[in-house]
Amino acid sequence: MYVHNIDPVLFDFGIIEIRWYSLAYIFGILIGWWLGKKIIVAKFNKFYPDFKIKQFDDLITYLIISIIIGGRLGYVLFYNLDYYFLNPLDILKLWEGGMSFHGALIGIIFGTYIFSIKRDLSAFFLLDIIACVSPVGIFFGRLANFINSELIGKKTDIFWSVIFPKIDNVSRHPSQLYEAFLEGVVLFLIMNFILFRKNYKIGTCSYMFLIIYGCLRIFSEFFREPDIQIGYLFDFISMGTMLSVLMILVGTTIFFIRNDKK
């Protein structure tokens, strides 16, 4: 059993604080950006020989804005609509926390689609790259969730359980670390294995990401407490599970549509 005593603030300069959570976003984006360019050179040059790396650099700005807006609005709509309906100005208080992965995902898809239209590029080509590098950001994000004592796991007496004193004195599953491993490490390996197979077809990583992440997230939800302000929907399913089921359905639909066209 481990008693969580990690300070979410790495450095406190009085006026300015540097938090692990913000660093997770920064490192996730920077490493994903670097890996994305490596993937373009190694895999996609034969598909799009005229594609310039500078265009991918320009996409990053769209992605950062999409993650922030989509993640925040997703949290507001999916997880705490009643509160923000009564306190709309609090939506702007990003420093108080409250981001949704599924909301960020929707934001990324829309942002990438808009960028692809403006640059006359294939949206699936860009989304394939994002699908292969995004597990890096997810990994760092889940580690930050653990440091922040948020998204806590269910009660357990297993020997690797964790007590989060900021929450209570109950030993719990370190569900954040489960998700970091599954949605970060495992998903990264699977996506890149798919990408570097022979006869790869554009769009495959896009829909497979939706399907595989959805399955891994549903599994992780078994060990995670539902959001306290929502609880279980219909008394048996968490919001994260429901949104992940929708991800799987969308990914499966794209799979059938693209294969029917071929």
- 3-class SS letters over 135-190: HHHHHHHHHHHHHCCCCCECECCCCCCEECCCCCCCEECCHHHHHHHHHHHHHHHH
Mean residue pLDDT of the chain comes to 92
**Least confident piece of the model among 62-76, 167-181, 195-209, 248-262:** 248-262
Work out whether strand 162-163 and strand 171-172 pair parallel, antiparallel, or are unpaired.
antiparallel
- Inform me whether the pLDDT recorded for 262 exceeds 70: no
Determine the pLDDT at residue 229: 85
* Closest to 32 (Cα-Cα) out of 197, 183, 188, 194: 188
The predicted-structure confidence for 209-242, as pLDDT tens digits, reads as follows 999 999 999 999 999 999 888 889 988 899 999 9
List, in order, residues 6 or more apart from 240 with CB less than 8 Å away. 102, 217, 221, 224, 226
Phi, psi values for residue 190, rounded to 5°: -65, -45
Q: Could you tell me which residues are beta bridge partners of residue 17?
A: 12
- Inform me whether the pLDDT recorded for 57 exceeds 80: yes
CB 170 within 8 A of CB 179: no
- Give this prediction's pTM: 0.92
Q: From the CB of residue 69, how many other CB atoms can be counted at a distance below 10 Å?
A: 16
**Least confident piece of the model among 45-49, 57-61, 140-144, 247-251:** 45-49
Element (H, E) at 11: strand 9-12
Determine the pLDDT at residue 74: 94
List, in order, residues 6 or more apart from 24 with CB less than 8 Å away. 137, 140, 141, 143, 144
List b or e across 235-252, with b for residues whose CB sees 16 or more CB atoms inside 10 angstroms: eeebbbbbbbeebbeebe
> Which residue type, as a one-letter code, is found at position 169?
N
> Which residue type, as a one-letter code, is found at position 85?
F
Rounded to whole angstroms, the Cα distance separating 164 from 148 reads 10
